[in-house]
Amino acid sequence: MDLFVVLVICLSILIFLFLWNQRHAKGKLPPGPTPLPIVGNILQINVKDFSKSISKLAEDYGPVFTLYFGMKPTVVLHGYEAVKQVLIDQSEEFSGRGSLPVVDNINKGLGIAFSNGEQWKQTRRFSLMVLRNMGMGKRTIEHRIQEEALCLVEALKKTNGSPCDPTLLLSYAPCNVICSIIFQNRFEYSDENFLTLAKYIHENAKIVSTPWIELYNAFPSLLHYLPGSHNTLFKNMTEQRKFILEKIKEHQESLDLNNPQDFIDYFLIKMEKEKHNKQSEFTMDNLITSLWDLLTAGIETTSVTLRYGLLLLLKHPEVTDDGQDEIFEINRVVGRNRSPCMQDRSRMPYTDAVIHEIQRYIDLVPNNLPHAAAQDIEFREYLIPKGTTILTSLTSVLHDGKEFPNPEQFDPGHFLDKSGNFKKSDYFMAFSAGKRVCAGEGLARMELFLLLVSILQHFTLKPLVDPKNIDTTPLLKALGSLPHFYEVCFIPV
């Protein structure tokens, strides 16, 4: 039997299985575009801007529809009401984590972000407890961020007002903050291990935001063995895990069971307490993956938001020109002789609005991390089987035209009332919402305010090109949104 006949037989079997699966699939899924055998709807989607394709499909199929990535169905939610119903109103039923093969390949369903069931519940609950013990949301961690902000300011001063790429510089401060929580120490910005860690995390964030990774997640079995950027991603993740394991070994040697100093200590003590429980979720593999989750989420999301935020401020100098609202607020409330603190925020509504508008506009994770039905669910007039992947379009909420007039324009007024006071919005879901809301939301909010205000307190931002020529559309917009490369001059004031 020649190769051609074998391929035809295999293809025929796959098509039969696909059609059988659609006909006999459990549940009643929402309608959607007709999928092709094997590839599903992937050819009907712009993988370079997945969120835009979803918005167009929602015009035809409504706020709830089904897409097939390969032979796997995914229910998509578009618009505030549908997204809110899943993330908040029926948060428990939709609290599962959908499969993301590019991450699952390394994490194996462990950790805080990509685990499920009892493992997720116990790991997340424990992690939140430890983060609170370490000062998240309290003055303890605020002081740590203030100290790191001063280090960042000194590093920016060393650029001497010359053009520089802020990418890695802006990652150092959030990296050191999270390292102080999980490793109990910060690194000098010249430390080789520190620089390598920051480089891996930045490179990974760039890779996972490419169309290739969208294709990999749809066809992991096919693409896994082919050359591609996923191999670089896996290599970087493996190196990160080696770094983490070395830190754990150092902690094991110096561990004081009665005096935990950081996240690793707390976890190792928990492992010791449960060492006779064969069903314990607190294992070495889970510790490594949980630390990887904290590092990745705690560094890149904040640094990308800062980097994108500075680009938007360069594009819109009216926001930061001397005498304008934001700089006026900083001068009036904080001045030049002390560090900003979180108590300042309530007296700085315009600055608060600018930070919220940065997060709204950049739409950092356009379609959220995938959720999954934790059980068979009756949702509207549909029956969604347990395990079905759920995508919630955060773009459709953050860029809702009724809540935010002219949503494609950067306008801090979206978060200000007529009197100039800060205005909250239920549509602000930059950190997701519900059971799977970002575990580090409180830390990230604190970092964004203190770091951005510290930068603007000490520097005038000078672009290298006319602001009219600055492109603030995303360079990449798949799993995450990333800004175009740019350089900026930090001019001391």
Q: What is the pLDDT of residues 326-371, one digit of tens each?
A: 777 888 899 888 999 999 999 999 999 999 999 999 999 999 999 9
Distance spanning both ends of the chain, measured CA to CA: 78
Query: pLDDT over 70 for what percent of the chain?
Result: 94
Whether the predicted pLDDT of 23 surpasses 50: no
CB under 8 Å to 399, separation ≥6 — which residues? Answer: 360, 363, 407, 408
Is 71 in contact with 40 (CB distance < 8 Å)?
yes
Is 174 in contact with 302 (CB distance < 8 Å)?
yes
* Residue 319 one-letter amino acid: V
Is 12 inside any structural domain? no
Is 361 in contact with 45 (CB distance < 8 Å)?
no
The β-bridge partners of 463 are 488
**Is the model more confident about 140 or about 114?**
114
- 38-47, 133-142, 284-293, range with the lowest pLDDT: 133-142
Is 82 inside any structural domain? yes
Collapsing DSSP states into helix, strand and coil, what is residue 33?
A: coil
Full DSSP string of 87-142: IIITTTTT-EEPP-HHHHHHHTT-TTTS--HHHHHHHHHHHHHHHHHTTTTSHHHH
Is 26 inside any structural domain? no
From the number of C-beta atoms within 10 Å of its C-beta (0-12, 13-18, 19+), residue 77 rates as: buried
pLDDT-based confidence at 77, cuts 50/70/90? very high
Residue closest to 228 by CA, chosen among 252, 205, 206, 212: 212
Q: Which residue has the tokens 């900026």?
A: 488
Which range of residues forms the domain containing residue 286? 32-492
- Binning the chain into helix, strand and coil, the percentages to the nearest 5 are 55, 10, 35
Number of neighbours of residue 118 by Cβ within 10 angstroms = 10
- Give the pLDDT confidence score for residue 199 in this predicted structure: 92
10 marked ligand binding residue:
no
Is 444 in contact with 173 (CB distance < 8 Å)?
no
CB under 8 Å to 107, separation ≥6 — which residues? Answer: 114, 289, 292, 293
Sheet with 96-97, strands from edge to edge, namely 64-69, 72-77, 389-392, 371-372, 96-97
Is 51 inside any structural domain? yes
The structure tokens listed for 51 are 């969120």
**Tens digits of residue pLDDT in 267-307:** 999 999 998 998 899 999 999 999 999 999 889 999 999 99
Is 8 inside any structural domain? no
Is 10 inside any structural domain? no
pLDDT-based confidence at 16, cuts 50/70/90? very low
Whether the predicted pLDDT of 6 surpasses 80: no
CB under 8 Å to 303, separation ≥6 — which residues? Answer: 167, 170, 171, 174, 175, 202
CB under 8 Å to 267, separation ≥6 — which residues? Answer: 126, 130, 282, 287, 290
pLDDT-based confidence at 164, cuts 50/70/90? very high
The rounded distance, in Å, linking the Cα atoms of 1 and 487 is 60
Collapsing DSSP states into helix, strand and coil, what is residue 453?
A: helix
Q: Would you tell me the crossing angle of helices 211-218 and 229-254 to the nearest 10 degrees?
A: 80
The structure tokens listed for 239 are 């190196």
Is 197 inside any structural domain? yes
Whether the predicted pLDDT of 453 surpasses 50: yes
- 106-120, 201-215, 313-327, range with the lowest pLDDT: 313-327
Residue closest to 430 by CA, chosen among 333, 361, 332: 361
From the number of C-beta atoms within 10 Å of its C-beta (0-12, 13-18, 19+), residue 140 rates as: exposed
Domain count, the chain: 1
- Give the pLDDT confidence score for residue 290 in this predicted structure: 96
**Is the model more confident about 443 or about 328?**
443
Is 17 inside any structural domain? no
Q: Provide mean pLDDT across the span 39-63.
A: 92
**Domain of 109: which CATH number?**
1.10.630.10
Buried b (16+ CB within 10 A) or exposed e, 351-362: bbbbbbbbbbbb
- Give the pLDDT confidence score for residue 222 in this predicted structure: 87
Whether the predicted pLDDT of 446 surpasses 60: yes
Whole-number Cα distances in Å, 471 to 85, 400, 405: 35, 22, 21
Whether the predicted pLDDT of 322 surpasses 80: no
